[in-house]
Amino acid sequence: MSTLAKVSNNGGLTKTNPYRKSNLPMWSLFDDFFDREWPSVFSQNFNTGMSLPMVNIKETAEDYFVEMAVPGLKKSDFNIVLDNQVLSISTETEEQKDLKEENYTRREFGYASFKRSFTLPETVDEGKIKAKYDEGILSINLPKKEEAKQKPARSIQIS
Protein backbone atom coordinates (compact mmCIF):
# COMPACT_ATOMS: atom_id res chain seq x y z
CA MET A 1 0.00 0.00 0.00
CA SER A 2 1.39 3.42 -0.88
CA THR A 3 1.57 6.46 1.35
CA LEU A 4 -0.19 9.58 0.14
CA ALA A 5 0.90 11.79 3.02
CA LYS A 6 3.49 11.26 5.68
CA VAL A 7 4.28 13.14 8.85
CA SER A 8 7.72 14.69 8.77
CA ASN A 9 10.15 15.20 11.64
CA ASN A 10 8.78 18.65 12.48
CA GLY A 11 5.15 17.49 12.54
CA GLY A 12 4.25 19.00 9.17
CA LEU A 13 2.60 17.09 6.37
CA THR A 14 4.60 16.24 3.28
CA LYS A 15 3.29 14.59 0.13
CA THR A 16 4.81 11.74 -1.79
CA ASN A 17 3.99 10.54 -5.27
CA PRO A 18 2.76 6.94 -5.09
CA TYR A 19 2.53 6.75 -8.89
CA ARG A 20 6.21 7.38 -9.61
CA LYS A 21 7.34 4.49 -11.77
CA SER A 22 10.32 5.87 -13.60
CA ASN A 23 13.48 7.80 -12.91
CA LEU A 24 12.70 10.65 -15.30
CA PRO A 25 14.16 14.01 -14.22
CA MET A 26 10.67 15.52 -14.29
CA TRP A 27 9.52 13.15 -11.50
CA SER A 28 12.60 14.02 -9.50
CA LEU A 29 11.68 17.72 -9.61
CA PHE A 30 8.14 16.98 -8.43
CA ASP A 31 9.38 14.68 -5.68
CA ASP A 32 11.90 17.28 -4.51
CA PHE A 33 9.11 19.83 -4.23
CA PHE A 34 6.55 17.60 -2.52
CA ASP A 35 9.01 15.83 -0.22
CA ARG A 36 9.96 19.07 1.50
CA GLU A 37 9.01 19.46 5.13
CA TRP A 38 6.33 22.13 5.19
CA PRO A 39 5.21 23.67 8.48
CA SER A 40 2.02 22.09 9.69
CA VAL A 41 -1.01 24.31 10.08
CA PHE A 42 -2.19 21.84 12.69
CA SER A 43 0.76 22.51 15.01
CA GLN A 44 0.52 26.31 14.93
CA ASN A 45 -1.43 28.59 17.21
CA PHE A 46 -2.37 31.56 15.04
CA ASN A 47 -3.22 33.87 17.95
CA THR A 48 0.01 34.11 19.93
CA GLY A 49 2.31 31.27 19.08
CA MET A 50 1.72 29.62 22.48
CA SER A 51 1.79 25.88 22.12
CA LEU A 52 0.99 23.08 24.51
CA PRO A 53 3.74 23.27 27.13
CA MET A 54 5.98 20.28 27.63
CA VAL A 55 5.98 18.58 31.01
CA ASN A 56 8.62 16.76 33.04
CA ILE A 57 7.34 14.19 35.54
CA LYS A 58 9.75 12.70 38.04
CA GLU A 59 9.18 10.09 40.75
CA THR A 60 11.24 9.70 43.90
CA ALA A 61 10.74 7.38 46.84
CA GLU A 62 8.55 9.95 48.59
CA ASP A 63 7.05 12.24 45.90
CA TYR A 64 6.07 12.82 42.32
CA PHE A 65 7.15 16.12 40.75
CA VAL A 66 5.54 17.81 37.76
CA GLU A 67 7.42 20.66 36.08
CA MET A 68 6.06 22.72 33.21
CA ALA A 69 7.95 25.47 31.36
CA VAL A 70 5.49 28.33 30.80
CA PRO A 71 7.42 31.63 30.70
CA GLY A 72 5.76 35.00 30.42
CA LEU A 73 2.81 34.26 32.67
CA LYS A 74 1.93 35.21 36.23
CA LYS A 75 0.98 32.72 38.91
CA SER A 76 -2.50 34.25 38.94
CA ASP A 77 -2.90 33.15 35.28
CA PHE A 78 -2.98 29.45 36.26
CA ASN A 79 -5.93 27.36 37.29
CA ILE A 80 -4.95 24.06 38.94
CA VAL A 81 -7.82 21.73 39.82
CA LEU A 82 -7.90 18.25 41.33
CA ASP A 83 -11.13 16.39 40.58
CA ASN A 84 -11.58 12.64 40.99
CA GLN A 85 -7.82 11.95 40.90
CA VAL A 86 -7.41 14.03 37.72
CA LEU A 87 -5.04 16.98 38.04
CA SER A 88 -5.81 19.68 35.45
CA ILE A 89 -3.54 22.65 34.77
CA SER A 90 -4.94 25.40 32.56
CA THR A 91 -4.50 29.04 31.72
CA GLU A 92 -6.24 31.66 29.62
CA THR A 93 -4.64 35.00 28.85
CA GLU A 94 -5.81 37.97 26.86
CA GLU A 95 -3.70 40.90 25.76
CA GLN A 96 -4.95 44.11 24.23
CA LYS A 97 -2.97 47.15 23.11
CA ASP A 98 -4.29 50.39 21.66
CA LEU A 99 -1.86 52.72 19.92
CA LYS A 100 -3.04 56.09 18.62
CA GLU A 101 -0.78 58.43 16.72
CA GLU A 102 -1.30 61.40 14.45
CA ASN A 103 -2.61 59.73 11.29
CA TYR A 104 -3.58 56.24 12.36
CA THR A 105 -4.96 54.07 15.10
CA ARG A 106 -3.77 50.52 15.65
CA ARG A 107 -5.34 47.98 17.95
CA GLU A 108 -3.74 44.62 18.61
CA PHE A 109 -5.11 41.84 20.71
CA GLY A 110 -4.31 38.23 21.39
CA TYR A 111 -5.68 35.25 23.24
CA ALA A 112 -3.86 32.15 24.42
CA SER A 113 -4.90 29.13 26.43
CA PHE A 114 -3.91 25.57 27.19
CA LYS A 115 -5.04 22.72 29.41
CA ARG A 116 -3.07 19.66 30.49
CA SER A 117 -4.65 16.89 32.56
CA PHE A 118 -3.05 13.97 34.37
CA THR A 119 -4.65 11.01 36.13
CA LEU A 120 -2.91 10.65 39.46
CA PRO A 121 -2.11 7.30 41.02
CA GLU A 122 -4.02 6.39 44.17
CA THR A 123 -0.76 6.62 46.10
CA VAL A 124 -0.77 10.46 45.99
CA ASP A 125 -1.67 12.20 49.25
CA GLU A 126 -4.15 14.68 47.75
CA GLY A 127 -4.28 16.87 50.86
CA LYS A 128 -0.56 17.71 50.67
CA ILE A 129 -0.24 18.77 47.01
CA LYS A 130 1.67 22.06 46.59
CA ALA A 131 2.38 24.23 43.56
CA LYS A 132 4.71 27.14 42.91
CA TYR A 133 5.59 29.29 39.93
CA ASP A 134 9.10 30.72 39.72
CA GLU A 135 10.98 32.22 36.76
CA GLY A 136 8.72 30.65 34.12
CA ILE A 137 8.59 27.16 35.66
CA LEU A 138 5.41 25.80 37.23
CA SER A 139 6.35 23.10 39.77
CA ILE A 140 3.82 20.82 41.45
CA ASN A 141 4.83 18.54 44.33
CA LEU A 142 2.63 15.45 44.71
CA PRO A 143 3.64 13.69 47.95
CA LYS A 144 2.96 9.97 48.26
CA LYS A 145 0.82 8.53 51.03
CA GLU A 146 2.88 7.18 53.91
CA GLU A 147 2.04 3.53 53.09
CA ALA A 148 3.12 4.04 49.46
CA LYS A 149 6.56 5.45 50.21
CA GLN A 150 9.42 3.21 49.28
CA LYS A 151 11.01 1.64 52.33
CA PRO A 152 14.79 1.26 52.53
CA ALA A 153 16.24 -2.18 52.08
CA ARG A 154 16.79 -4.11 55.28
CA SER A 155 18.65 -7.25 56.12
CA ILE A 156 16.64 -10.25 57.31
CA GLN A 157 18.26 -12.63 59.76
CA ILE A 158 17.90 -16.34 59.28
CA SER A 159 16.77 -18.25 62.38
Beta bridge partners of 78: 91
pLDDT of residue 35: 52
Residue 134 pLDDT greater than 80, yes or no: yes
Q: Which residues contact 72 (CB under 8 A, 6 or more apart)?
A: 136
Q: What is the pLDDT of residues 64-121, one digit of tens each?
A: 999 999 988 888 999 999 999 999 999 988 877 777 777 777 777 777 888 999 999 9
> Same structural domain for residues 103 and 132?
yes
Same domain? For 84 and 115 the reply is yes
Domain CATH number, residue 113? 2.60.40.790
Q: Which secondary-structure segment (H or E) carries 33?
A: helix 25-34
pLDDT at 48 > cutoff 60: no
Q: Is residue 155 part of a domain?
A: no
Q: What is the pLDDT of residue 43?
A: 41
What is the overall mean pLDDT for the chain? 75
Same domain, 39 and 66: no
Same domain, 124 and 85: yes
- Work out the average pLDDT over 130-156: 91
For residue 23, name the pLDDT band (cuts at 50, 70, 90).
low
Partners of residue 90 on adjacent β-strands: 79, 115
d(CA 21, CA 87): 53
Q: How many folded domains does the chain comprise?
A: 2
Residues 117 and 70 in one domain: yes
Domain span at 128: 55-148
Residues 10, 75, single domain; the answer is no
Q: Is residue 132 located within the same domain as residue 72?
A: yes
Does residue 156 sit within a domain?
A: no
